[in-house]
Structures are given as structure tokens and as C-alpha cells.
């Protein structure tokens, strides 16, 4: 009887929902649409993990921002405020960008809360430059960790934390499903906004870099996404990582893709 009882209890245990927000620069506005629909349907994550652009939205969500807050911020965001986040593929300037504007913007929006002070447990993924290994930040300066997660090599200066250099989390975990599980998620909703490597213009240093990253991310995603329970893939067509003008379309694409998966999400939540 004891065995049957424990099985029954285990079967009815509420899942720990991990929301995983993937890399994709300006395509990351789609994450806002995803969050708006999940919130409207009463689906609230217990854990949020983000990589690169996904870390930006993950940090804001974890700090207590609602879907509408995120939508308002996305639409009012002055591109100059995060120019050093969107520049990687814009090709407007040469040289290495520090990333100060992004770090300062994040810390301002989260009221200078550290990662461990967030309302929702937050994980931010970056790549440790020397070892090439992925690192999950669960404590420390939120803006600095997000900056590290967004530091595309060859464009941004690596972010130094604790004497180590970190670069873009999207290099090792474009959609960091395994890290959400590491944090205790038992039901993972993953949002994949990685661009397909089909850009017609792969000329020039930045064009080649974008194409190379897209190829690498597709390869990693084919493995990583298999362990997600639900994968939401907004239809962003050929929206580039520097296309901030299409933010409205990206948000809408996130909403539509989430609505399409809502039946499955609710079914999985029932267990």
C-alpha cells in the first residue's frame, strides 16, 4: 500500500517549470511575446534561464517585470541605449565594444538587484573564454552577467568577472535547456530564436561571423532541444540579429508561436 501511495503522490507532484530563453540578438524581442501569452494563460515559470539576448529578457522577467512591462520597455527602448548589444551584425563601426550601456541598462531596470535577489530563480549562461566551457551564473552582478552572456567574440571585449574572461553564452548554449534542468526544472519550455544559416550575404568579416555562429548554433540546438518538453519557435523568417525596427513583428511572432503550443503546454502541466 505504501508503494502505491508514494507512486500516486509522485504522479500528482506539480512540475517545476523552467522557461529557457535562447540567443538571437534583436530576434530576442520575440521572447516578450512568448511571456505575454504564457502570463495571460496563467503559466508562470519557477525558474528562468537565458543565454545571450535571452539573458536580457530573463533578467528582467526574474526581477518581477510583467509581460506588459516587457512589451512597454521593448517598444520604448532607445536603440542607442543598447547599441553595443545590437551592433554585432550592423557593421556600422569597427573595433571592440565594451558593453557598458547594456550592463547599466539591465542594472537600472532590475533596481540593482543581484542575481540571487531575484523574485524568480535566475540563471545566466556565458562562455568562459580560456576553457571554452559554459558557465551558469546564479549569483553576482546581474548586469555584468548579462553583459558577459551577450559578449560576441571579435565584436565585444570579453567581460572579466572574478579574474576570468567571459564571452557570449550562445556559443555553447544557444538554448540552454540543460542548465534549466541543472537548476531543478522538471518541465522545460524552451524558446528557440536562433537564425537559420541561410543568409544570402555572408561577405565581410561580420557577415561571415554571423553565418558561422548560425551554423554552430544549429548544430548545438539539434542536440540540446531534444531534452526540452516544449519547444516554442517563433517564425522570424529572415529577421537579422540587428533588425531593431522589426521589434513589433518579433513580439507578435512570439505570441503566435506560443498560442500554437498552448494546448501542449497545458497538457504537460497537468502531468
Grid cell 529557457 is found at: 20
β-pairing verdict for 17-21 and 164-167: unpaired
Q: pLDDT digit string (tens) for 91-101? A: 444 446 778 88
Catalytic pick among 168, 195, 242, 246: 168
Rg (CA), the chain: 18
Q: Is 9 part of any domain?
A: no
Name the nearest CA neighbour of 232 among 41, 43, 30. Answer: 30
Residue 197 pLDDT level (bands cut at 50, 70, 90): low
Separation of alpha carbons 15 and 7, rounded Å: 15
Grid cell 557577415 is found at: 207
Separation of alpha carbons 120 and 140, rounded Å: 15
Q: Three cell numbers at 192?
A: 528557440
Percent of the chain with pLDDT over 70: 83
Mean pLDDT of the chain: 86
Q: Is 7 part of any domain?
A: no
Catalytic pick among 51, 52, 194, 246: 52
Higher pLDDT: 243 or 210? It is 243
Q: Is 10 part of any domain?
A: no
Contact of 232 with 257, CB cutoff 8 Å:
yes
Contact of 36 with 68, CB cutoff 8 Å:
yes
Q: Is 69 part of any domain?
A: yes
Separation of alpha carbons 85 and 26, rounded Å: 9
Could you give the C-alpha distances from 231 to 19, 41, 260, 265, in angstroms and in order? 10, 17, 11, 10
Separation of alpha carbons 187 and 264, rounded Å: 12
Residue 68 pLDDT level (bands cut at 50, 70, 90): very high
Contact of 121 with 183, CB cutoff 8 Å:
yes
Q: What is the CATH number of the domain that holds 72?
A: 3.40.1090.10
Higher pLDDT: 206 or 49? It is 49
Dihedral pair phi/psi, residue 202, rounded to 5°: -110, 30
Q: Specify whether 55 is catalytic.
A: no
Residue 25 pLDDT > 90, yes or no?
no
Residue 200 pLDDT > 70, yes or no?
no
Name the burial class of residue 231, with classes exposed (0-12), middle (13-18) and buried (19+) by CB atoms within 10 angstroms of its CB.
Answer: buried
Q: Is 82 part of any domain?
A: yes
Q: Is 1 part of any domain?
A: no
Residue 53 pLDDT level (bands cut at 50, 70, 90): very high
Separation of alpha carbons 232 and 94, rounded Å: 35
Q: Calculate mean pLDDT across residues 66-78.
A: 92
Residue 206 pLDDT > 70, yes or no?
no
Q: Is 2 part of any domain?
A: no
CA end-to-end distance (rounded Å), the chain: 22
DSSP string, 28-43: GHHHHHHHHHHHHTT-
The range of the structural domain enclosing residue 252 comes to 17-270
Q: Is 266 part of any domain?
A: yes
Length of the chain as a residue count: 271
Domain total in the chain? 1
Q: Specify whether 52 is catalytic.
A: yes
Q: 0.85 exceeded by the pTM? A: yes
Amino acid at each position: 500500500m505504501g508503494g502505491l501511495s508514494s507512486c500516486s503522490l509522485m504522479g500528482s507532484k506539480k512540475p517545476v517549470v523552467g522557461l529557457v530563453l535562447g540567443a538571437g540578438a534583436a530576434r530576442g524581442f520575440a521572447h516578450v511575446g512568448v511571456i505575454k501569452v504564457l502570463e495571460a494563460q496563467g503559466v508562470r515559470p519557477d525558474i528562468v534561464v537565458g543565454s545571450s539576448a535571452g539573458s536580457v529578457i530573463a533578467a528582467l522577467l526574474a526581477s518581477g517585470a510583467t509581460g506588459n512591462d516587457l512589451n512597454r520597455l521593448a517598444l520604448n527602448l532607445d536603440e542607442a541605449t543598447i547599441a553595443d548589444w545590437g551592433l554585432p551584425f550592423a557593421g556600422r563601426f569597427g573595433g571592440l565594444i565594451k558593453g557598458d550601456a547594456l550592463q547599466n541598462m539591465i542594472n537600472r531596470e532590475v533596481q540593482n538587484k543581484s542575481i540571487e535577489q531575484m523574485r524568480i530563480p535566475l540563471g545566466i549562461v556565458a562562455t568562459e573564454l580560456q576553457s571554452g566551457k559554459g558557465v551558469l551564473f546564479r549569483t553576482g552582478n546581474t548586469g555584468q552577467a548579462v553583459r558577459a552572456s551577450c559578449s560576441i567574440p571579435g565584436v565585444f571585449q570579453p567581460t572579466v568577472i572574478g579574474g576570468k574572461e567571459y564571452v557570449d553564452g550562445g556559443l555553447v548554449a544557444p538554448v540552454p535547456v540543460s542548465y534549466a534542468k541543472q537548476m531543478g526544472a522538471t518541465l522545460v519550455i524552451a524558446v528557440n530564436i536562433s537564425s537559420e544559416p541561410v543568409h544570402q550575404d555572408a561577405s565581410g568579416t561580420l557577415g561571415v561571423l554571423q553565418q558561422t555562429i548560425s551554423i554552430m548554433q544549429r548544430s548545438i540546438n539539434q542536440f540540446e532541444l531534444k531534452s526540452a518538453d516544449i519547444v516554442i519557435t517563433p517564425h522570424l523568417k529572415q529577421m537579422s540579429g540587428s533588425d531593431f525596427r522589426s521589434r513589433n513583428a518579433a513580439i507578435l511572432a512570439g505570441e503566435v508561436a506560443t498560442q500554437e503550443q498552448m494546448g501542449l503546454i497545458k497538457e504537460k502541466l497537468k502531468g
